Amino acid sequence: QKEVEQNSGPLSVPEGAIASLNCTYSDRVSQSFFWYRQYSGKSPELIMSIYSNGDKEDGRFTAQLNKASQYVSLLIRDSQPSDSATYLCAVNLLNQGGKLIFGQGTELSVKP
Amino acid sequence: KAGVTQTPRYLIKTRGQQVTLSCSPISGHRSVSWYQQTPGQGLQFLFEYFSETQRNKGNFPGRFSGRQFSNSRSEMNVSTLELGDSALYLCASSLAGGVLSYEQYFGPGTRLTVT
């Protein structure tokens, strides 16, 4: 089992819809979870961090964490074509000295 | 605040050569991590430095090495380059203090091509 897993996509949603991106992780003691957005040819940009169970909202973005199920998700409301990018989930693995391990990323395409 | 800077942005090297990449973290950040990104393998952790000490290391051969200076700037070196080393090399910095220490911010990357 990979340490951090994401659906590779591509995920295609119409403009204005909700995009739902999912991530599972293997380390039960992980405490820090992050979502990065990466446009083609650019470096990853941090968009959300979440540390406790529940939801965290920032503008059109909502991160959801369920530690019991080892699951973290990112919802993008009112999706825009400019949201088209690859979204990377990252988990801080405490059982490996705090390494930040990334999933393979989910490619999101928002169609006008 | 200025972001993470990396130099050079692009490099073309020949097999067998060595290369040194440089990273300057965000002011006040003491941790620097390096990653290799390729289309096939995704973003893979190379190593992390904090206060001039390597704190974590990924599963890369010994040809990949790094160091951190007292001003938190970091360099990574790849010796005896192979074609498979062609990748985007990313540096990320973080505060390295408390829970928020693990919010990492990436530089623009160095695109290395080995021919």
CA distance A32 to A95: 12
CA distance A98 to B110: 25
What pLDDT is recorded for position A108? 97
Task: Spell out the residues 6+ positions from residue B105 whose beta carbon is closer than 8 angstroms to its own.
Answer: A46, B3, B4, B26, B29, B92, B93, B94
CA distance A21 to A63: 9
* A43:B108 CB<8 A: yes
What pLDDT is recorded for position B60? 96
Give the residue-averaged pLDDT of A6-18. 93
The values of phi and psi at residue A42, to 5°, are -115, 175
Q: Lowest mean pLDDT: which of A1-10, A29-38, A66-75, B36-45?
A: A1-10
Alpha helices in B15-101 (DSSP H): none
Contact of B29 with B91, CB cutoff 8 Å: no
B102: nearest CB among A43, A45, A100: A100
- Could you tell me where the beta strands, DSSP code E, fall in chain B? 5-7, 10-13, 19-24, 31-38, 42-50, 53-57, 64-68, 74-78, 87-94, 105-106, 110-114
* A100:B55 CB<8 A: no
What pLDDT is recorded for position B80? 97
What pLDDT is recorded for position B2? 81
Residues of B in contact with A90 (CB under 8 A): 104
What pLDDT is recorded for position A62? 98
What pLDDT is recorded for position B18? 98
What pLDDT is recorded for position B102? 75
What pLDDT is recorded for position B100? 56
What pLDDT is recorded for position A39? 97
Low-confidence spans in chain B with pLDDT less than 70 = 1, 97-101
* Residue A49 burial (CB count, 10 A): 20
Question: Looking at residue A26, what DSSP letter applies?
Answer: S
Residue A99 has pLDDT above 90, yes or no: no
Residue A104 has pLDDT above 60, yes or no: yes
Task: Say whether the peptide bond before residue B8 is cis (omega within 30 degrees of 0).
Answer: yes
What pLDDT is recorded for position B99? 53
**Residues in B 71-90 with any Cβ partner in A closer than 8 A:** 88, 90
